[in-house]
Structure 1
């Protein structure tokens, strides 16, 4: 049995954590229920969005790292990138989190790996 948390449970936990910290989260796209990859888009009050995804580290852990930042001068490009990722891998989950301190929030997710 895998020690990995099923994607739908991880998505729910991320959403609840955001709400407990005064933020809001929503699922932009549902992926494969158990084995889908979870990607997180953070935003706050019109600031540029940031896409986070899990990346493997040398020690075997997998933590969320920023993989794409929205260009305030070309917001459409970020949306197109997300759509392209979704087309390439329909199993991914896209969760948008609107929260004040996104870096702190993402750091707290290391326990979900």
Structure 2
């Protein structure tokens, strides 16, 4: 038995926490309910994009790992990146968070699960 919670539970918890805090959280693509990888796109008011994924960090602990740098604040580059990533992994969840300290919300929710 795995110690990880199902992906759908983690995603739903993250969406609820961000929305309850007054931010905006959206599922851009649904992945496998049990074991789909989770890609998180963070921004603030549509700017300052970061792309993170739940994975094993440098210390060996589960956490959020930066997976791509996006040049500037071009949402088209972000969209192109996650579409390419999803083409390679159709079980991938893609979540967008627009709230101050979005990375903290994601880390507290997803990495803890």
TM-score, normalised via structure 1 length: 0.86
Cα contact 1:7–1:35 (8 A) shared by 2: yes
Counterpart Cα distance in 1 of 2:105 and 2:61: 18
SS in 2 for 1:55: strand
SS in 2 for 1:3: coil
SS in 2 for 1:90: coil
Consecutive unaligned residues of structure 1, counting only runs of 5 or more, are none
Give the direction of change, closer, same or farther, for the CA distance of 1:73–1:62 in structure 2 (3 Å limit): closer
Counterpart Cα distance in 1 of 2:59 and 2:71: 32
Give the direction of change, closer, same or farther, for the CA distance of 1:73–1:101 in structure 2 (3 Å limit): closer
Number of positions where the alignment pairs a residue of Structure 1 with one of Structure 2:
112
TM-score, normalised via structure 2 length: 0.86
Runs of 4+ residues over 6 Å off in structure 1? none
